[in-house]
Amino acid sequence: MIRPEDPDHRAWALMDAARQLDFFRASLNPAGGFFQLGHDGSPLPDRPQELHATTRMVHSYALGKLAGFADCDEMIDAGMRYLASHHRDKTHGGYVWGMTGDTVSDGRKLAYGHVFVLLAGSSALAVGHPDARALIDDVTEVLENRFWEPDNGRFCDEFNRDWTPFSTYRGMNANMHGVEALLAAHEATGADRYLHMAGRILDFFLGEVAPQEGNRLPEHYRADWSIDRAYSEDPMFRPPGTTPGHSFEMARLLLQYWDMTGRGDDTAPARARALAYRALQDAWDEARGGLVYTLDFDGTPHITDRYWWPVTEAIGTLAALMKLDATKEDAVWFDRLWRFAQAHFVDTARGGWFPEIDEPGLPTERQFIGKPDIYHALQADLLPLTSGLSGYYTTLKELRV
């Protein structure tokens, strides 16, 4: 059985992390930033460079460097340069979402992108990058002054390039990744304001919403933060209903926050477990294996496509639960998820993970072109191997490959 502490699994996970880091080095664009890569690792030069892709590359290679993998600095440096030279809006402030060459192809200012800038800056600071502190300070000011709603304790979502509003949409996804970035920023800088903001977001989604929704998390909200059950837009970033993969992420982040704040809330572990297991029970596809992408509000599968990232996040959450108080069911699920990932998503020949599979379980390209991301899969390899629920910038150094 595959378990986090098993020496064979640890060796395999570190080998897969190395394969991923090697594979995505081909994304380095000599003109600045990064290419998206095809399944075979060839650059896709016509694809726009989006803010979350730039920032996740910085974060991922910083994690790799902390774990002792070689040759990560060039990727970190390239991402940091590109954030400053291209994504940073020198006219209006903040960071634009999309670049094509030297042209702004999507000038929207999205909270989702800005919290990833904070994550990138925090991870860059953890590895001693000289520009990291300035990046953290800059994006913190933008997040606090443009996106943070102090009365609600959450981030609003989106503006035009010049900060004029174009919608009243509010969403969980930007706030969930906001928690991730805020906890990282607290760890990297020691500033308590980040921890306070993360706690307020968690209090709303996991203290108020989840208990009222049967431990499911609706994605979309109106300006007054009432649930918008009719909302349906982008099938990838803003699908209707609930997204079980996000429940796994929120459960892990709750445990991380609980650990960082001294484990004072006795209810947090049980709440995290209930959230994670509700998602597993709703989303696991008994006939085909894997996790369906979205659910209706009652837990009925809605978008039944199977992507890599919910599996990676479930792996990370099961590992966190096992570090705290492992059960036989945790071990069964951890083993089941990893075996499915290794059979269907992990590209052992070339590196990286295939992002989606078809009905028979083979790689396909319906929603995703190529291999767009290292972030989710690298964390699934590395974070379960660390010794704690938080403090990843420190505990990753224990791996030192």
Which residues form the catalytic set?
246, 376
Q: Report CA dihedral (389, 393, 395, 396) to the nearest 10 degrees.
A: 110
> What's at 61, amino acid-wise?
Y
Question: Using the 8-state DSSP alphabet, how is residue 385 labeled?
Answer: G
Residues contacting residue 307 through CB under 8 Å, at least 6 positions apart: 245, 293, 355, 356, 367, 368
Query: Residues 263-270: contacts with CB within 8 Å, 24+ apart?
Result: 269/321, 269/324, 269/325
DSSP 293: S
160 neighbors 114 (Cβ within 8 angstroms): no
In contact, 318 and 276? CB cutoff 8 Å: yes
Q: How far is CA 395 from CA 16, 68, 73, 164, 386, in A?
A: 19, 12, 20, 42, 6
Rounded Cα distance between 309 and 372, Å, is 11
DSSP letters for 301-353:
BSS--EEHHHHHHHHHHHHHHHHHH--HHHHHHHHHHHHHHHHHTB-TTTSSB
Q: Report the amino acid identity of residue 12.
A: W
| Tokens standing for residue 32 | 């600045």
For residue 399, give the 3-state DSSP assignment. Answer: coil
Question: Taking the CB of residue 14, how many other CB atoms lie within 10 A of it?
Answer: 18
Give the Cα-Cα-Cα angle 346, 348, 353 (nearest 5 degrees).
30
